[in-house]
Amino acid sequence: MLFSGAQPALLVLADGTTYRGWSFGASATAIGEVVFNTGMTGYQEVLTDPSYRGQIVTFTYPELGNTGVNPEDEESGRPQVKGAIARNICSRPSNWRSTQSLQDYLKKYGIPGIYGIDTRALTRKLRSVGAMNGGISTEILDPADLLMKIREAPSMAGLNLVREVTTSTTYEWSETTDAAWDYTTLTAKPTDSGAIEPTLTVVAIDFGIKKNILRRLASYGCRVIVVPADTSPEEILKHNPDGIFLSNGPGDPATVAEGIATAKALLTSEKPMFGICMGHQILGLSLGAETFKLKFGHRGLNQPCGMSQQPVEITSQNHGFAISAESLPDAEVEITHLNLNDRTVAGLRHKTLPLFSVQYHPEASPGPHDADYLFQQFVQSMRQHKQQGVPTV
């Protein structure tokens, strides 16, 4: 559907490939890494996920905007993407929770989008050639002029974006998953007042944390203290945490030197540690492993993960880097999960210390809930360590 008075828009990739379409969202120019997400739902969660910082997201689902947007589904305080690419846009959202249309939401934050292009062809291009920089513009409609600006932009490899999304101050989080939306009997039970009484203290290092991760930790009975990514190990340990959480985040994990150094220093504390996505990569790097950039990444809601002789988990994923399996120290670390599409490392565990991590998102906002048990596993590890002083995962 073409909006009345629709404005022309241009999409150009770094190799010169050009797509012409129509604008939704802000009238602007945005340059970033062009990637694709195969999820069939959750476009607002994707747009507001800090792990997408610096990226222009292509949605393979054919129409966006049907359910509008609402404050409850934001994974951070604002959209984090540089731009959005869609086949079709719904101009009149219909959902009882909607408070705003998608295009008005993006316009409010100055985020441009382009629709009316062949997103299937674009996705095939990115799969065959690989994710690359690109640009969306309603202001520059000459492909050669836009291409010049795109080629001046830095590559995602070697880019530290954590400093753009981490919290500037330490704060506590207590909001749990809404009871109407909770999906397990393993979470902590509310008191007579309706609140969940925290029994464990978790320090969450914020590399670009999603709100639903914080909700799941709180739902499992954790008092969550969120600290900036550059917080020193000494400051973290002053909170006397029962466990330490390493969050998701954007950019190249190998560039987050302070986070890697902090995680490495915290290994000697023998506190239980749990990492998700970038937190998984940073934990791996702190243990001596290496990371590499994937050709086009894993971004979607149906990524199968597991190992032989264990159930397959269907998982939500969003990352463009992975841990090199060959670089892991075999004497200390074991691989617990593989991505069953390409056999990349999707989970690891230390053999003697209470440390584990996964490349995917067990909080799954959006996505399946197969892996939510990992929060319970983290809680059990903290309880064992607290009661027995024995570092056991």
Q: Which of 254, 215, 210, 285 is nearest to 51 (CA)?
A: 210
Amino acid at 230: D
Amino acid identity for residue 96 in this structure? W
Among candidates 154, 161, 127, which has minimal Cα distance to 35? 127
Query: Contact, 221 vs 196, CB < 8 A?
Result: yes
Catalytic residues: 277, 361, 363
* Rounded CA Rg of the chain: 21
Distance CA 42, CA 64 (A): 10
Q: Percent helix, strand and coil across the chain, each rounded to 5?
A: 25, 30, 45
Q: Give the whole-angstrom CA distance, residue 359 versus residue 368.
A: 15
CB atoms within 10 A of CB 179: 10
356/382 Cα distance (integer angstroms): 12
DSSP 137-181: ESS---HHHHHHHHHHSPPSTT-B-HHHHS-SS-EEE-PPPPTTT
